[in-house]
């Protein structure tokens, strides 16, 4: 069996599910990451496994598993004999992450345009609709990231999709932390145009739209938010 076919590959930013009192691993991850993106847990927060277990009504061992996963994604910094803390990516780290995303997602979008399946397109459009509705209430950062991961899954190259899954969460953290205008950005419109191009199997248009989309995100983070990144890093 392909080692990349783990269920976690395409659930780096999973949807929240109905609360049943006991949180599945994906649900707990989703809630903790949402709390980070919404700044309820931020770089200055002092938290422990015990305090998070109380906050999310979860077992400490499950909290530890989520923190380990977030650490692998460079969202949480774990050090022996120190409290966990939320990462604060600097400008160079963000630049390199976005550069890697462009290289990866251009290949994935080309693959996605090869005989797109109606069911995959339907799932993407349902996700875009959820993103649109969320944007009406506030930033849809996690859902925006989920769009890119689902599109990667549709492309059918598991190693590339796995690699993208290591990049998207860090991008989402940077947007939540440094992009003051994130709540005004309606990325779902660009996502809808990308899906339309994929459905038409228009590789050139899909590639152009994805490149423009990622370039816009980079410009927002590294230009308008550069002073904020420097100040946060200095603090």
Asked if residues 134 and 140 have their Cβ atoms less than 8 Å apart, the reply is yes
Residue 14 has what pLDDT? 45
Of 54, 50, 42, residue with least CA distance to 88: 42
Residue 180 has what pLDDT? 64
Domains of the chain plus CATH, in order, are: 25-86 (1.10.10.10), 91-234 (1.20.120.530)
Asked if residues 169 and 12 have their Cβ atoms less than 8 Å apart, the reply is yes
Distance (Å, rounded) from C-alpha 229 to C-alpha 221?
Answer: 9
Question: Rg of the chain's alpha carbons, rounded to an integer?
Answer: 18
Residue 218 has what pLDDT? 86
Residue 177 has what pLDDT? 84
pLDDT tens digit at each of 235 positions of the chain:
444 443 343 344 444 433 444 556 678 998 999 899 988 998 888 899 999 999 999 999 999 999 999 999 999 999 988 899 999 888 889 899 999 999 999 999 999 999 899 999 999 999 999 999 988 887 888 889 999 999 999 999 999 999 999 999 999 999 888 876 565 567 899 999 999 999 999 999 999 999 999 998 888 887 755 555 555 544 4
- Its pTM stands at 0.80
Asked if residues 210 and 164 have their Cβ atoms less than 8 Å apart, the reply is no
Of 12, 141, 33, residue with least CA distance to 87: 33
Residue 85 DSSP SS3:
strand
Distance (Å, rounded) from C-alpha 89 to C-alpha 42?
Answer: 12
Asked if residues 18 and 7 have their Cβ atoms less than 8 Å apart, the reply is no
């Amino acid at each position: 069996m392909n080692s990349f076919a783990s269920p976690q590959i395409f659930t780096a930013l999973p949807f929240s599910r109905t609360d049943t009192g006991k949180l599945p691993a994906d649900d707990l991850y989703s809630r903790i990451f949402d709390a980070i993106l919404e700044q309820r847990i931020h770089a200055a927060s002092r938290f422990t496994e015990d305090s998070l277990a109380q906050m999310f009504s979860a077992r400490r061992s499950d909290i530890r598993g989520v923190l380990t996963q977030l650490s692998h994604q460079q969202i949480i910094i774990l050090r022996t004999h120190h409290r966990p803390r939320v990462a604060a990516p600097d400008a160079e780290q963000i630049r390199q992450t976005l550069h890697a995303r462009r290289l990866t997602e251009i290949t994935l979008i080309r693959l996605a345009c090869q005989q797109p399946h109606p069911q995959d397109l339907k799932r993407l459009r349902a996700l875009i609709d959820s993103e649109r509705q969320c944007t009406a209430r506030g930033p849809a950062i996690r859902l925006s990231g989920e769009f890119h991961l689902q599109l990667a899954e549709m492309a059918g190259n598991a190693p590339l999709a796995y690699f993208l899954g290591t990049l998207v969460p860090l991008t989402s953290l940077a947007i939540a932390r440094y992009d003051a205008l994130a709540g005004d950005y309606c990325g779902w419109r660009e996502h809808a145009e990308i899906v339309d191009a994929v459905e038409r199997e228009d590789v050139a248009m899909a590639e152009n739209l994805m490149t423009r989309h990622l370039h816009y995100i980079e410009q927002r983070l590294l230009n308008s938010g550069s002073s904020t990144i420097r100040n946060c890093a200095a603090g």
